[in-house]
Chain A
Amino acid sequence: MEDLAAAVLGLLGGIVGGLLGVGGGILFVPALTLFQDMPQIEAEATSLLAIVPVAAIAAWRQSSYGNVRVREGLLIGALSPIGVLAGVVVANEVSQRVLELSFAALALYIAARLAISPARGRP
């Protein structure tokens, strides 16, 4: 039953991810902590592994619709390890609460920008 619940959250994470261009970790992590009794760090790590094939197949499907700028996407990915390392260092130096509130403020700012000036271009 718990496995079924985790699989259903996985399916929903995939649908949301496919619609919005995110990996689905937003739902994978709670699926693993709530229904597989995993500690947070293991859930995050396992979620990242689950994201790999999801994102790869999603990128392939989107490219068949002509929606992927492959070179720029791969460049973003290739330059991310610097950020990953910086993120881990910062996470160890700054309190988790400060990080959460900073990211919340940033998310709200971006949401407002998207709401005010959505994609410049076609509707």
Chain B
Amino acid sequence: MRRTLQLAAIGTGAGAFSGLFGVGGGTIIVPLLMLWLAYEPREATGTSMAAIAVIATFAAALHAAYGNVDVAAAALVGIPAIGGAVLGIALQQRIPERAISAAFALILVVIAVELIVP
């Protein structure tokens, strides 16, 4: 029960940040899975992807209803990104788990700086 509530809190939090900032929610999901539910870094990133697929579908559908989505432009960045993600994931299997969480901490600092500097 406690675990289900934690998953619910992660889902709600990721959704909220998605609604607030227009991101998928991975920056919330990955660290919370590691810190709250003791996921290994690789498992946290893999599970995050499954969650993001669902969250982004909801959010994109909502935006599409407002006519804000450009399908051709989405394909322009999305199709190369699919290749990039397959590459990044293959690479991720070859680096130590510790390096993944360290890189994630670094990305969070970059995001914080971007948010603070107007």
Contact = CB atoms under 8 A, between A and B. Distances in A.
Contacts of B53: 52, 55-56, 59, 77
A83 B16 contact: yes
A29 to B, nearest CB: 7
- 4 residue pairs, one from A and one from B, having the closest CB atoms: A14-B84, A18-B88, A21-B45, A77-B54
Interface in A71-123: 72-88, 90-91, 97, 99-101, 103-105, 107-108, 110-115, 117-123
Interface of B: 4, 7-8, 10-27, 29-31, 34-35, 37-60, 62-64, 66, 68-71, 73-93, 96-98, 100-109, 111-113, 115-116, 118
Given A11-B83, A22-B26, A57-B82, A77 B16 contact: no
10 contacts: A6-B77, A15-B87, A49-B63, A61-B86, A68-B43, A73-B54, A79-B8, A80-B58, A90-B19, A123-B96
